[in-house]
């Protein structure tokens, strides 16, 4: 059995990779080897909005939407130093319109996400890849045959057959089916060592139902950890406990025992399951973040959670997996065409996965640091800042992380984990019960600063083709001239004052009717990107007496992040 690409693992990373490879390059031979028979249960049900665009590109949005999974519009938290409930929503709830389902991937559905039953969701995606032409093999465990260090010679299947390919991809999750035999080590860049236990409940009440099938997940902090509550259908809900591994060990309880002991500790969760019935099995897993030291080799790649795993507090697992798999679906064909000329894409993939997953691991640490149950982690934020070349005490480091230390989750935008920079500042303000400032408010003149920066290139993936954007690197920072950042660089070439920059942005967006968002919102997103450029030194601010300033504010109560109003 010989293929162009052999993918080990049929989860969202493997099916996304296979589907997009066949969509854009139907002549390629693609095989996906999955050790289990689908459908099968799997944890990690809560998504973020970027997945919708990937599903649409794969051509399976309609299939997923037809499954009638709940629409996720955000989350309700009991988190931080206060017991009060607060909401984070993907779009202002007042703007959400009730509409019939199934719906198309347009308008508000581009800003929302799904809460999926993974048994059904993973099966839909893998069968879609098969319909596009991937050869899918269920109950086919694969083991790599390695004859030369760092190179895969073939795969040996559980039925005795041998598979050869031009490229092999480990998309089999944290087990590292290919990663471990290749000798790729993993780092654990965090002091978090949690475990998770979960089960599924029938007929639990939804905390809130908005319109037709929309709701928020519930994330409730308790003394021993936190509880997730994720409706998967009108009648089925995933409820899980995350707690420190040390606490679980010291409790002396069984997985089922500690799970059932914990749920009544939160009155909101206890009320929602009062009349519900739990399915028999309680599942468990080690919930430790990790990051592979290498994600690409001579004839192989790692994709999805084989590359790394970030704590589930941010619900980013599937987004990271499917985003990376999409990028790989563009990169592999380019390497097959010309591995020498396009070798830089392999290094870009490695650097990007490491940076992106690493940022989410650090952001999870930041999130836990703010919680009363994990206060010992706040000192660790100094180490995170040190990695970025900054010397700060824990309090300063925590503030830095929450006001700009995470800014590169999506090329061309400022934000991470579904939060834009303004939302991140608001979260920090809520966690610290202080006032968070904007660097932009300190200056009224701005100048682009590319001094001592090295010019390079970064790939842009669109419609099956790769084009190269200009990038600049200086120290540990990289500026990719894409999206808002490309626009700002052009604006700064012509405008220096705060007022003229604002007016230029406003004028530009007034003419862009195709962007489908209010001009005021687009200008605000551009100013957030400018804040990042100032924070990272790509733009220098100065003061000239008599000139007006920008006046950005971080509200205590906003349209996106606010006290729970249910």
Domains along the sequence of the chain with CATH: 1-66+115-187+288-354 (3.50.50.60), 355-433 (no CATH)
Mean pLDDT across the stretch 214-220? 95
**198, containing H or E segment:** strand 194-202
Q: Which of 77-91, 94-108, 324-338 has the lowest mean pLDDT?
A: 77-91
Residue 374: the pLDDT is: 54
Strand partners, 237: 201, 231
Nearest to 489 by CA among 444, 439, 533: 533
Contacts of 1 (CB under 8 A, 6+ apart): 31, 161, 162, 163, 164
| CA–CA separation, 54 and 75 (whole Å) | 22
| pLDDT classification of 372: cutoffs 50, 70, 90 | low
d(CA 157, CA 528): 50
Contacts of 341 (CB under 8 A, 6+ apart): none
Angle at 244 between CA 239 and CA 245, to 5 degrees: 100
The band of 423, judged by pLDDT with boundaries at 50, 70 and 90, is: confident
User: What is the model's pLDDT at position 364?
Assistant: 82
Residue 396, judged by CB atoms within 10 A of its CB (0-12, 13-18, 19+), counts as middle
Contact call for residues 58 and 23 (beta carbons, < 8 A): yes
**Cβ atoms of 178 and 172 closer than 8 Å:** yes
Q: What would the pLDDT profile of 482-511 be if each residue is shown by its tens digit?
A: 999 999 999 999 999 999 999 999 999 999
The pLDDT confidence band at residue 383, using thresholds 50, 70 and 90, is low
The DSSP call for residue 525 is: H
CA distances from 353 to 87, 238, 289, 329 (A): 29, 29, 14, 14
Which of 29, 4, 6, 336 is CA-nearest to residue 161? 6
Tell me, what's the pLDDT at 191? 74
Residue pair 71/112 in contact (Cβ under 8 Å)? The answer is yes
Given pLDDT bands bounded at 50, 70 and 90, which one contains residue 362?
Answer: confident
Q: Are 70 and 214 in contact (CB under 8 A)?
A: yes
pLDDT at 401: 55
Angstrom distances, CA of residue 42 to CA of 116, 170, 259, 286, 389 = 10, 18, 18, 14, 39
pLDDT at residue 429 in the model: 81
Q: Give the residue among 183, 230, 463, 435 at the shortest CA–CA distance from 329.
A: 463
CA–CA dist 64, 238 (Å, integer): 18
**Which residues, including other chains, have CB under 8 Å from residue 197's CB and lie 6 or more apart?**
240, 241, 255, 256, 258, 259, 282, 283, 284
Which residues are paired to 205 by β-bridges? none
Of 15, 42, 41, the closest CA to residue 30 belongs to: 15
C-alpha span between 5 and 354 (Å, rounded): 23
Residue 94 burial (CB < 10 Å; 0-12/13-18/19+)? exposed
What pLDDT does 304 receive? 95
| Residue pLDDT, tens place only, 442-490 | 999 999 999 999 999 999 999 999 999 999 999 878 899 999 999 999 9
Crossing angle of helices 421-432 and 519-535, rounded to 10°: 70
What whole-number distance in Å separates Cα of residue 321 and Cα of residue 171? 9
């Amino acid at each position: 059995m010989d293929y162009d690409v052999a993918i080990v693992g049929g989860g969202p990373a493997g099916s996304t990779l296979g589907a997009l490879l066949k969509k854009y390059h139907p002549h390629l031979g693609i095989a996906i080897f999955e050790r289990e028979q689908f459908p099968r249960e799997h944890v990690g049900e809560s998504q973020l909005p970027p997945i919708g665009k990937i599903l649409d590109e794969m051509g399976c949005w309609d299939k997923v939407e037809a499954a009638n999974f709940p629409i996720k519009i955000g989350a309700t938290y009991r988190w931080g130093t206060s017991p009060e409930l607060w909401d984070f929503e993907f779009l202002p709830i007042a703007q959400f319109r009730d509409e019939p389902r199934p719906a198309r991937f347009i308008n508000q559905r581009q800003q929302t996400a799904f809460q999926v039953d993974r048994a059904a969701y993973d099966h839909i995606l893998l069968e879609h890849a098969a319909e596009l032409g991937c050869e899918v093999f269920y109950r086919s465990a694969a083991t790599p045959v390695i004859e030369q260090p760092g190179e895969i010679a073939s795969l040996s299947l559980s039925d005795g057959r041998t598979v050869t390919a031009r490229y092999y991809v480990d998309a089999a999750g944290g087990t590292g089916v290919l990663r471990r035999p290749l000798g790729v080590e993993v780092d654990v860049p965090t002091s978090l060592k949690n475990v998770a236990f979960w089960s599924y409940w029938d007929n639990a009440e939804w905390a809130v139902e908005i319109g037709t099938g929309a709701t928020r997940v519930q994330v409730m902090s308790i003394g021993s950890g936190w509880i997730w509550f994720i409706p998967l259908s009108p009648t089925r809900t995933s409820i899980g406990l995350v707690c420190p591994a040390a606490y679980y060990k010291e409790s002396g309880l069984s997985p089922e025992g500690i799970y059932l002991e914990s749920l009544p500790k939160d009155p909101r969760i206890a009320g929602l399951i009062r009349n519900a019935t739990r399915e028999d099995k309680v599942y468990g897993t080690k919930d430790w973040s990790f990051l592979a030291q290498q994600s690409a080799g001579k004839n192989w790649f790692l994709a999805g959670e084989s590359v790394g795993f970030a704590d589930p507090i941010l619900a980013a697992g599937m987004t990271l997996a499917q985003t990376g798999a999409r990028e790989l679906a563009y990169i592999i064909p380019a390497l097959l065409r010309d591995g020498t000329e396009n070798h830089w894409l392999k290094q870009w993939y490695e650097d990007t996965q490491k940076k992106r997953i690493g940022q989410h691991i650090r952001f999870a640490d930041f999130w836990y640091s703010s919680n009363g149950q994990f206060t010992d982690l706040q000192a660790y934020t100094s180490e995170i800042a040190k990695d970025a070349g900054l010397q700060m005490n824990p309090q300063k480091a925590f503030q830095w992380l929450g006001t700009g230390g995470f800014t590169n989750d999506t090329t061309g935008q400022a934000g991470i984990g579904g939060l834009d920079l303004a939302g991140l500042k608001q979260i920090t303000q809520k966690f610290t019960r202080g006032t968070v400032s904007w660097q932009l408010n300190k200056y009224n003149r701005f100048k682009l600063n590319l001094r001592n920066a090295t010019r390079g290139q970064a790939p842009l993936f669109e419609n099956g083709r790769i084009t190269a954007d200009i990038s600049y690197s200086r120290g540990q920072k990289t500026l990719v001239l894409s999206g808002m950042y490309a626009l700002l660089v052009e604006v700064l070439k012509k405008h220096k004052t705060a007022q003229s920059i604002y007016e230029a942005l406003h004028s530009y967006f007034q003419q862009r009717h195709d962007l489908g968002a209010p001009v005021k919102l687009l200008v605000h997103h551009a100013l957030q990107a400018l804040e990042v450029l100032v924070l990272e030194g790509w733009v220098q601010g100065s003061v000239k007496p008599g000139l007006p300033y920008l006046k950005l504010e971080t509200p205590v109560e906003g349209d996106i992040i606010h006290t729970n109003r249910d």
